[in-house]
Amino acid sequence: MAAKDETGNANHMAMPHHHCIPPDPYTYLPQVSSFVLDSNDARDGEPLDPKFAHSWSAGSRDNSPELHWSGFPKETCSFVVTCYDPDAATGSGFWHWMLVGLPPTTVALARGAGNGGDLPKGAFHIRNDLGGKAFLGPAPPKGDRPHRYVFAVHALDVAALDVTDDMSPAFVGFNMSYHTLARAVMRPTFAL
C-alpha cells in the first residue's frame, strides 16, 4: 500500500521497515553459561566487510567469516553454529546459517566453511530461510538501518541432535534449546 501525502495522493515513498529494535534472540531463552567466540573477520558490534554479504551484492560470495571459540564446558559433546538476523522485517527474524553436529574437538571454522567445504564427519547444514543448505550472507534492504547478525556457537550435551537437514531452523533451535550447556555470541552488523 502506498503512503499518502497530506493531500491524500499516493507518493510511493519507501516506508521504514522498523519502528523498534527487536530483542536479542537469546534474551528470553533459558539462561546458560557463556564462553568466548572470536573471529579474524568480524567484530562484535562492528560492520561486516561486504565480502561476506549475500551474493547479489557486488563483490561478495556468501562467504561465512572465520570463527574460533574457547572456554566451553568440558562436558560439551557437540557444537551447533548459527547466524540469525533478528532485524529482518518478517515478524520472526531470518536464519542465515545453521551448522549442526560439530564434534567437541572442532574449535574453529575457516572462512567459507558455511559453503560446504571439508566439514567434520557427522556435521551438516540445516536449510536457511532462503532454502539453501549453506551460509547466506547479509542482505538487508537498501537504506534500512544496520541489521545485527547474531553469530552463536552452542555447546550441547549430546553428540547429535535428532534432526535432519530438511527441518526448519526454528524446529532445530527448539530441539537444541533443551541440550544447550553454554553459548558464545558475537553480533556484527551490516547495512547497504
Q: What is the pLDDT of residues 115-163, one digit of tens each?
A: 877 899 999 999 999 999 999 999 898 888 999 999 999 999 999 999 9
* Residue 11 banded pLDDT, cuts 50, 70, 90: very low
**Position 70 pLDDT exceeds 90:** yes
Residue 98: its pLDDT value, please? 97
Contact 53, 139 (CB under 8 A): yes
Q: For residue 21, what is its C-alpha cell?
A: 529494535
* Residue 13 banded pLDDT, cuts 50, 70, 90: very low
Q: Kindly state the average pLDDT of the residues 165-170.
A: 95
* Residue 68 banded pLDDT, cuts 50, 70, 90: very high
Residue matched to cell numbers 563483490? 59
Q: Kindly state the average pLDDT of the residues 157-172.
A: 96
Residue matched to cell numbers 541489521? 147
Residue 129: its pLDDT value, please? 95
Taking the C-alpha atoms of residue 47 and residue 149, their distance in angstroms, rounded to an integer, is 10
Backbone angles phi, psi at 189, to 5 degrees: -120, 170
pLDDT averaged over every residue in the chain? 88
Q: Kindly state the average pLDDT of the residues 4-16.
A: 42
| Among the listed residues 118, 119, 90, 92, the one whose alpha carbon sits nearest the alpha carbon of residue 103 | 119
* Residue 4 banded pLDDT, cuts 50, 70, 90: very low
Residue 143: its pLDDT value, please? 87
**Position 7 pLDDT exceeds 70:** no
Q: Kindly state the average pLDDT of the residues 79-98.
A: 95
Dump the DSSP string for 114-129: GG-SSPPTT-EEPP-T
Q: Kindly state the average pLDDT of the residues 76-92.
A: 95
Taking the C-alpha atoms of residue 120 and residue 114, their distance in angstroms, rounded to an integer, is 12
**Position 6 pLDDT exceeds 50:** no
Which has more pLDDT, 3 or 25? Answer: 25
**Position 8 pLDDT exceeds 90:** no
Residue 9: its pLDDT value, please? 41
Backbone angles phi, psi at 156, to 5 degrees: -110, 155
Taking the C-alpha atoms of residue 99 and residue 83, their distance in angstroms, rounded to an integer, is 9
| Among the listed residues 96, 62, 87, the one whose alpha carbon sits nearest the alpha carbon of residue 144 | 87
* DSSP 8-class letter at 137: -
